[in-house]
Amino acid sequence: MTTGLCLIVAGRLLATLPVTEFTLAWTHSVQQSRWEERYRIDGARLVLERARVEGSGAGMEPAPDAVWRDGSWRWTPALPPLRQLRLTVSSFTSDYELCAEHACRPLQALTGKLADGTVVVAAPCAASPR
């Protein structure tokens, strides 16, 4: 049984989101384009269901099968399920956003203020490395 998404720093649980799916979004530091990835929690794994990006370039190329629709490239990534996501905090970019249940929140609104270079592990709570 999935109990949600856990946000962990240095083995310490900082937040739990009682969700079964979520979108991770960020703005690329060079291109200033929004990138979004939609995940579903499946047991102890994160399944990347779809991605979208508002532009391309500087390492942000959409997949070859991406479709341009409503102002962004959209596709279904061919990536196996993941145990976790590792999100690095940087003062040179805007904060990550976690979106679930029709609301988006900055990552640090959930974890509290974090120092530059801090790695936040996002993992299903059933499998979180606490």
Count of structural domains, the chain: 1
For position 31, what pLDDT does the model report?
62
Instruction: Summarize pLDDT for 8-25 with one digit per residue, the tens.
Output: 999 999 999 999 999 999
- Residue 54, domain extent: 5-127
Predicted structure pTM score: 0.88
For position 32, what pLDDT does the model report?
66
Instruction: Summarize pLDDT for 91-118 with one digit per residue, the tens.
Output: 888 899 999 988 999 999 999 999 999 9
Residue 4 structure tokens: 């949600």
Tell me the three state secondary structure of residue 111. Answer: helix
Beta strands in 11-118 (DSSP E): 12-17, 21-27, 34-42, 45-53, 67-69, 72-75, 85-88, 97-100, 103-106
